Amino acid sequence: MQTAIIFDMDGTLFQTNLILESALKQTFEYLRENGLWSGDTPIEQYRQIMGVPLNVVWETLCPNHSNEVREQSNDHFQLALIEQIQRGNGALYPDVLPTLQKLSEHYPLYIASNGQTAYLQAIVAQYRLDRWIKGVYSIDCIDTNNKSSLVQHIMEEQQINSGYVIGDRASDINAAIDNNLTSIAVNFDFAQLAEIIKAHFIVEQFIHILDIIDRQH
């Protein structure tokens, strides 16, 4: 059994806000061209729910559409996101790379995300995160759309019995608490204080994670 650190991706490692608007606009332009949407692109509405499972995203943004249209919308959205990543339009948060490098010297690192596998792998490839990340787990890996279950799955597969979950939304904090892990919340772009206030620790800068973990061991 081992101690490990499990990271969320969007809004924690990766600055999704840099590519979100463009990808969402492309998606809703596709819907407009096919007579499936009128009005503005619901960017602010998406920002409010950032981090929830993708089926919930499209149920929220397109409440009056069929599941088939929602699936088509998500497919276009994922391709647009990946295109933006590969063009270099995204970025990791400051100090993510040196922090991951330092932590990987002492702990196995994993990613647990509500994002789809191809999207996550695009980020990993763009920034060569596999230098330090031992495994990338999408919500696609399990039957439920539950981050707590995904973290449990990682712990069982990797024989983890202690460690940390680091993220920016309630689902990340709950995943830590539900699995008896320590929660560290990053108060970045999509974070909402009401959601992260119950975390064991809250950081304003990514590199401060090092200090917290050093003090715990």
Summarize pLDDT for 146-176 with one digit per residue, the tens. Answer: 999 999 999 999 999 999 999 999 999 999 9
> For residue 196, what pLDDT is reported?
94
Burial (CB < 10 A; 0-12, 13-18, 19+), residue 91, is middle
Beta-carbon count within 10 A of 23 CB:
21
**Residue of 184, 190, 159 lying closest to 93 (CA atoms):** 190
Beta-carbon count within 10 A of 33 CB:
9
Q: At residue 113, does pLDDT exceed 90?
A: yes
> For residue 144, what pLDDT is reported?
85
Cα–Cα distance for residue pair 20/97, rounded to 1 Å? 22
Which residue's structure tokens are 């999509």? Answer: 190
pLDDT tens, residue by residue, 48-92:
887 777 888 899 999 999 999 999 999 999 999 999 999 999 999
Which alpha helices (DSSP H) does 87-146 contain, by range? 96-104, 117-127
Which DSSP symbol is given to 186?
E
Going by their DSSP bridges, the two strands 201-203 and 109-113 should be labelled as unpaired
CB 186 within 8 A of CB 172: no
Cα–Cα distance for residue pair 137/130, rounded to 1 Å? 13
State which amino acid sits at residue 116: Q
